[in-house]
Amino acid sequence: MKKLGARSTTNDVLQGKDLTGRTVVITGSNCGIGFEAAQALAGAGARVIFACRNIEKGQDALSRCQVLHPQSSLSFYPLDLASAESIKQFSEKVKDEPIDTLICNAGLMATTYQETQEGLEMTVGVCHFGHFLLTQLLMPQLLRAKEQSGNDPRIVMVSSESHRMPAKLNFNKFPLNKSNRFSPLTAYGQAKLCNALFANELQRRYGDQGLTACSLHPGALITTRFGRDSGFLSLFFKLVSPLTKNPNQGAATTVYCASHDKSDELAGKYFSHCKPVRSTKEANNPETARKLWEVSEGWGKGLNDATESLLCTA
């Protein structure tokens, strides 16, 4: 196997690997690095559950993956991470699946102030809180994975080098609201910092129960649909695209973290270019991670009784 690095592909990462028996949920898997990770893992034998907001695009992604890997085992269920009710419905639909790997890949960078159905700033609401609630609801299944399938449970958070800005998570302005001066980059930086903090806190809370959690940076300025509502950002990404990773290369680190054999080499670490790298001091601050967890649980208390009941038992 050749040495992995910045230009490695998912095929490079999965060379010689057989993931038969694994069941993987991937959010935002209808396009970009999410789709590339999904099809690569399916091609290596994993059962893949596509979790996407848009039903038509999610079903199309599943069909495209089936064409690439005719023998693969695939399912699609709609999931809107901006809606607690949708997250609850998704968790109920997959409750009988022996899920052992959750890849929190979906994300966005809202260029104007928007809110989720629960009234949270959209970027943090989707990238962090939606994944926080989803993870809590799926946690019982993940922790049963070892006895059901023999596979150690794993959670992979797709973060970003944008987690370095802001340097500190200011809970007085988190998430941003209408009274704050909204900045798309600040909101995105908050969300990606939360992804890294969440992975680390998951490792601290559930590591002794066999769970492995890690976070990663997929690569700088990968071709994505970020800034889809901004002509300037869309043009900028198009101009710099020849200098960046393609989606399959961008998915390589996600696939590496999802498939690497040695869990102890992943636990609580942050990855880039298929290798561990140093994240920020704040991302590794256990007090910030603990407070973020408590704040996130507090948001959950405002949900409807059914969702709240599920959250409290997760």
> Could you list the active site residues?
188
Let me know: does 304 contact 85? Beta carbons within 8 Å.
yes
C-alpha–C-alpha distance, residues 169 and 129, integer Å: 15
- Torsion sign across C-alpha atoms 283, 287, 294, 90: positive
Cis peptide leading into residue 166 (ω within 30°)? yes
Cα–Cα distance for residue pair 192/126, rounded to 1 Å: 11
Cα 39 to chain centroid, rounded: 16
SS3 content of the chain, % helix, strand, coil (to 5): 50, 10, 40
Which residues does 310 contact at the CB level (< 8 Å), separation at least 6? 88, 91, 136, 137
Backbone Cα Rg of the chain: 18
Consecutive H or E run containing 74? strand 74-78
For 250-289, strand residue ranges (E) read 270-272, 275-277
